[in-house]
């Protein structure tokens, strides 16, 4: 048995691929066993250990990657490269040709042409000529997908004599000389020399996928020319092996090495690489991959699905910076939970233009503590995450695949600056420097929009200060939303509103009505298009009683005779929280006035067009439709 099976051998049982890691006896059992590591690490029972005795070690860190299999168990038949190619792209015609050749060998007459008629016309001719045409199409193939076909190498067995191997290599060059992209993923490949032999026959090959194979040690004597894109996902190669391979592919510009248990990058890659994908590995900090920063031409870096939470685990790490050529970064689906990570990106990636950072714990947090916003804490919305991210990154043009328009940038930076102002207002002046240290763009944004109005409780003199028309405060309107008492809202909405009678939200004047309604929908938990917004202005219109029916008036106690128009504002302050009809006053001369109300009708018009330049606050009633 020992001459048939050996360590490192690739096998397939019922379609499940594995690598032999041990051949021999297992204590407490009879006969011999194969200790195998499954490519699917969830398929096994252990990690190579049985009753406290370790018989082999798996490359996978999963505890269930190993099993013991009897050598007598039937294994799936491996294939050579050309055999798999014909199986995938010419199996039907190969079968016909084989039957005809067999018939010739048996001395049975063969009909060279089978005619199929449609009426009186020949519709199809099946025979040697058609088979030759179909096989000739293999020579025109440019994209070949041979993943999962149990390819063991140039030939199905390493034991085949060298003459057959040389003949097979010549046939590869003749059969498919125009291949540009080749996928050999999830096969039984083991030796790099087999990959090298196949590739050197394909003069036009540019993209090679070897995902999911398990290779022996890298053969540093081999070099691959012409291939520009290489995929080594799920190969469980070490980083040093991957780095060595990158230098053996002389024309390599794009490398993918995802799902390889990589946690640290200890050696640099080939300087020719422009695109690097390291998704679903075990990277925890950006400093652990600082060797990548030495790549002079790197343009794209994807670190999606790792465990990244910080730039550096400590302050003593050597500073590093990626080249300005790097414009795309993907750190989505990681463990980023602090804005300090985002703040550090402009320094680490000075050329960054496109960022993907969604699906991180950072965006499950509230925009700011309730002590700052005066609102119940809630996770930030997609819009808020988008604005607060782009506002911290002056050079990005795309965030999470969404283009950043000039309007988006203005809105985002205004919103961000207003939150900084609220944070400064919520804490004493002695903490101002420590707060601003968390917002590196503060000074820059103040230069663009003017500083935010800071109104600390301990500094009442600032509360009545005039607003600079060029300041941030002049660009924002403090909306105070409340639910109309006379409207029938769902019970869950009413319960929500009982917590806070009036909800304040600073909104840039450049927001359109649709975005304002989206904010209201989120605050109260309302369905879109189920409500309308009524702005209660501070202006009063006279009432022509001759043209209005008495059933339109409310004779509530608030309508006091002798009320002066000058007292309207005082009356309104007393009536906050009253009914919708508490907006009528009567002067000494008997004339009545009603407060003007304006509906914020759905449109793309900016809310700033509705308000005068000196208006800083707007009370808006939310009515159910």
Q: Quick one: which of 328, 323, 218 has its CA closest to 271?
A: 323
pLDDT for the residue numbered 607: 81
Helix and strand numbers (H, E) in the chain are 15, 27
pLDDT for the residue numbered 511: 86
Strand partners, 68: 35
Q: Residue holding tokens 């640290």?
A: 264
Strand partners, 399: 355, 402
Contacts of 374-378 with CB under 8 Å at 24 or more apart are 374/504, 375/500, 375/503, 375/504, 375/505, 375/523, 376/499, 376/500
Cα 405 to chain centroid distance, Å, stands at 20
Residue 484 DSSP one-character state: -
What is the pTM for the complete model shown? Answer: 0.72
pLDDT for the residue numbered 101: 53
Q: Do the beta carbons of residue 445 and residue 393 sit within 8 Å?
A: no
pLDDT for the residue numbered 556: 38
Q: Do the beta carbons of residue 258 and residue 238 sit within 8 Å?
A: no
CA distance 342 to 395: 13
CA distance 37 to 45: 10
Strand partners, 595: 540
Q: Residue holding tokens 């790197």?
A: 298
Per-position b or e across 58-95, b if 16+ CB within 10 A of its CB: bbbebebbbbbbeeeeebeebbbbbbbbbeebbeebbe
- pLDDT, averaged per 10 consecutive residues of the chain (625 residues), comes to 79 96 94 96 93 94 95 94 91 56 51 46 52 70 95 86 88 93 97 96 97 94 96 97 96 97 94 97 95 96 97 76 97 96 96 97 86 69 92 96 93 90 87 93 92 70 48 77 85 62 83 86 84 83 54 38 43 39 59 78 79 79 89
CA distance 187 to 150: 5
pLDDT for the residue numbered 565: 43
Q: Do the beta carbons of residue 299 and residue 273 sit within 8 Å?
A: no
> Count of CB atoms within 10 A of residue 308's CB?
22
pLDDT for the residue numbered 515: 86
Q: Do the beta carbons of residue 354 and residue 331 sit within 8 Å?
A: no
Domains of the chain: 10-69 (2.30.30.190), 478-624 (no CATH)
Token readout for 431 is 């903490």
pLDDT for the residue numbered 563: 42
pLDDT for the residue numbered 139: 87
pLDDT for the residue numbered 109: 46
């Amino acid at each position: 048995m020992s001459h048939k099976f050996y360590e490192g051998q690739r096998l397939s049982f019922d379609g499940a691929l594995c690598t032999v890691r041990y051949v021999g006896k297992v204590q407490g059992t009879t006969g011999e066993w194969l200790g195998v590591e499954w490519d699917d690490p969830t398929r096994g029972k252990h990690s190579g250990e049985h009753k406290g005795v370790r018989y082999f070690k798996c490359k996978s860190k999963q505890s269930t990657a190993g099993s013991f299999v009897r050598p007598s168990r039937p294994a799936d038949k491996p294939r050579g490269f050309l055999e798999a190619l014909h199986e995938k792209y010419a199996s039907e015609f190969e079968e016909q040709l084989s039957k005809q050749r067999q018939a010739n060998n048996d001395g049975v007459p063969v009909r060279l042409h089978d005619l199929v008629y449609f009426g009186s016309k020949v519709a199809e001719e099946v025979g040697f000529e058609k088979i030759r045409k179909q096989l000739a199409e293999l020579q025109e193939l440019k994209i070949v997908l041979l993943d999962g076909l149990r390819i063991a190498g140039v030939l199905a067995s390493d034991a085949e004599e060298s003459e057959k191997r040389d003949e097979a290599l010549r046939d590869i060059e003749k059969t498919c000389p125009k291949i540009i992209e080749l996928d050999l993923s999830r096969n039984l490949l083991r030796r790099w020399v087999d990959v090298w032999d196949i590739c050197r026959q394909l003069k036009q090959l540019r993209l090679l996928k070897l995902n999911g194979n398990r290779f022996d040690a890298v053969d540093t004597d081999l070099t691959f020319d012409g291939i520009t894109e290489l995929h080594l996902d799920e190969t469980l190669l070490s980083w040093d092996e991957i780095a060595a391979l990158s230098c053996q592919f002389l024309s390599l510009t794009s490398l993918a090495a995802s799902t390889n248990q990589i946690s640290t990058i200890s050696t640099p890659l080939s300087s020719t690489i422009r695109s690097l994908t390291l998704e679903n590995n075990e990277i925890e900090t950006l400093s652990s991959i600082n060797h990548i920063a030495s790549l002079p031409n790197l343009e794209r870096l994807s670190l999606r699905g790792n465990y990244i939470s910080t730039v550096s685990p400590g302050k003593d790490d050597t500073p590093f910076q990626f080249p300005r050529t790097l414009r795309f970064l993907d750190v989505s689906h990681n463990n980023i939970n602090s804005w300090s990570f985002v703040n550090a990106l402009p320094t680490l990636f000075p050329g960054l233009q496109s960022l993907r950072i969604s699906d991180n714990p950072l965006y499950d947090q509230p925009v700011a503590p309730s002590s700052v916003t005066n609102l119940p804490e809630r996770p930030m919305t997609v819009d808020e995450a988008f604005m607060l991210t782009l506002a911290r990154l002056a050079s990005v043009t795309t965030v999470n695949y969404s283009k950043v328009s000039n309007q988006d940038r203005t809105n985002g930076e205004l919103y961000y600056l207003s939150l900084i102002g609220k944070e400064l207002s919520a804490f004493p002046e002695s903490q101002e420097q420590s707060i601003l240290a968390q917002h590196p763009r503060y000074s820059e944004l103040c230069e663009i929009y003017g500083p935010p109005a800071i109104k600390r409780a301990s500094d009442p003199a600032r509360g009545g200060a005039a607003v600079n028309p060029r300041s941030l405060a002049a660009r924002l309107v403090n909306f105070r939303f409340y639910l109309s008492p006379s409207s029938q809202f769902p019970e869950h909405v009413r319960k929500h509103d009982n917590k806070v009678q009036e909800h304040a939200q600073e909104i840039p004047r450049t927001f359109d009505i649709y975005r304002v309604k989206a904010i209201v929908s989120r605050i109260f938990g309302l369905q879109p298009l189920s409500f309308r917004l009524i702005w209660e202005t501070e202006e009063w219109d006279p009432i022509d009683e001759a043209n209005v029916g008495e059933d339109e008036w409310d004779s509530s106690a608030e309508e006091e005779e002798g009320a002066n128009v000058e007292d309207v504002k005082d009356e309104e302050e007393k009536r906050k929280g009253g009914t919708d009809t508490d907006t009528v006053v009567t002067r000494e001369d008997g004339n009545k006035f009603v407060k003007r109300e304006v509906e914020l009708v759905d449109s793309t018009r900016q809310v700033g067009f509705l308000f005068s330049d000196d208006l800083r606050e707007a009370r808006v009633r939310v009515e159910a439709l």
